[in-house]
C-alpha cells in the first residue's frame, strides 16, 4: 500500500467562495488587462481551480473608457458586426466605439478570452464594467487589485 496517495480534489459549485475585486483600468493596455481579468473570472488564481466548475471571483472594472491600445490599433483595428442580410457588414474603429459604448471594448476583450460555452456565459456575468470612477458595488467591499 502506498503511503503517499495524493487525491485530486474537484471543487463543487456549492463550496466555491467568491471574493470581489476592484480594478482601475486607467492607462492600462486592453489585451493585457483582459487576459488577467479573464484568468480571475475563471478562478485560475485559486488552488481549488476546476476546469468544469465556475470557481472564479467577481470583478469590478472602473475607468474602462480610459484604456489604451498599443501601436495604431486605436484607428486601424475594426469591430465587425453583420445584420445577416446581403451587404450587411458594419465596422467601427475603437475610437468610435469608445464614444458610443465606452464599456464595450473591455467587455468584448474579456469575453473573447473566456470559454465559448454555457460555463463561459456564466462567468461573464461576474464582470461589472463602468466607464467612470463610480460603481454601485461598495456594499460588497471589493479589494483593490493591482494588475
pLDDT tens, 79-88? 999 999 999 9
> What average pLDDT is seen over the chain?
95
Q: What are phi and psi of 91, to 5 degrees?
A: -140, 150
Cell of 42: 475563471
**What is the pLDDT, as a whole number, of residue 111?**
98
**What is the pLDDT, as a whole number, of residue 116?**
97
Q: Which of 114, 99, 103, 109 is nearest to 43 (CA)?
A: 114
Lowest mean pLDDT among 5-9, 46-50, 57-61, 83-87: 5-9
d(CA 108, CA 100): 14
pLDDT tens, 57-102? 999 999 999 999 999 999 999 999 999 999 999 999 999 999 999 9
1 pLDDT more than 70: no
**What is the pLDDT, as a whole number, of residue 22?**
98
**What is the pLDDT, as a whole number, of residue 4?**
74
Beta carbons within 8 Å of 26's beta carbon, 6+ residues apart: 63, 66, 67
For residue 113, the 8-state DSSP code is T
**Percent of the residues in the chain that have a pLDDT greater than 70, as a whole number:** 99
User: Cβ(106)–Cβ(128) under 8 Å?
Assistant: no
Beta carbons within 8 Å of 70's beta carbon, 6+ residues apart: 29
**What is the pLDDT, as a whole number, of residue 52?**
95
Higher pLDDT, 6 or 127: 127
pLDDT tens, 111-123? 999 999 999 999 9
5 pLDDT more than 90: no
CA–CA distance from 26 to each of 2, 6, 29, 144 (Å)?
A: 53, 44, 9, 14
For the chain, list the domains and their CATH numbers. 17-144 (3.90.1180.10)
d(CA 63, CA 98): 12
Reduce the DSSP state of residue 124 to 3 states and report it.
Answer: helix
**Average pLDDT over every residue of 29-34:** 97
Amino acid at each position: 500500500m502506498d503511503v503517499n496517495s495524493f487525491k485530486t480534489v474537484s471543487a463543487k459549485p456549492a463550496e466555491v467562495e467568491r471574493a470581489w475585486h476592484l480594478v482601475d483600468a486607467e492607462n492600462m493596455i486592453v489585451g493585457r488587462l483582459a487576459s488577467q481579468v479573464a484568468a480571475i473570472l475563471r478562478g485560475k488564481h485559486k488552488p481549488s481551480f476546476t476546469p468544469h466548475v465556475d470557481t472564479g471571483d467577481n470583478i469590478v472594472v472602473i475607468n474602462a473608457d480610459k484604456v489604451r491600445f498599443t501601436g495604431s490599433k486605436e484607428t486601424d483595428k475594426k469591430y465587425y458586426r453583420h445584420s445577416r442580410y446581403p451587404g450587411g457588414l458594419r465596422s467601427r474603429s475603437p475610437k468610435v466605439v469608445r464614444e458610443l459604448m465606452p464599456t464595450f471594448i473591455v467587455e468584448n476583450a474579456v469575453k473573447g478570452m473566456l470559454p465559448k460555452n454555457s460555463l463561459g456565459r456564466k462567468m461573464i456575468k461576474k464582470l461589472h464594467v463602468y466607464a467612470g470612477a463610480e460603481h454601485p458595488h461598495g456594499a460588497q467591499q471589493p479589494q483593490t487589485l493591482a494588475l
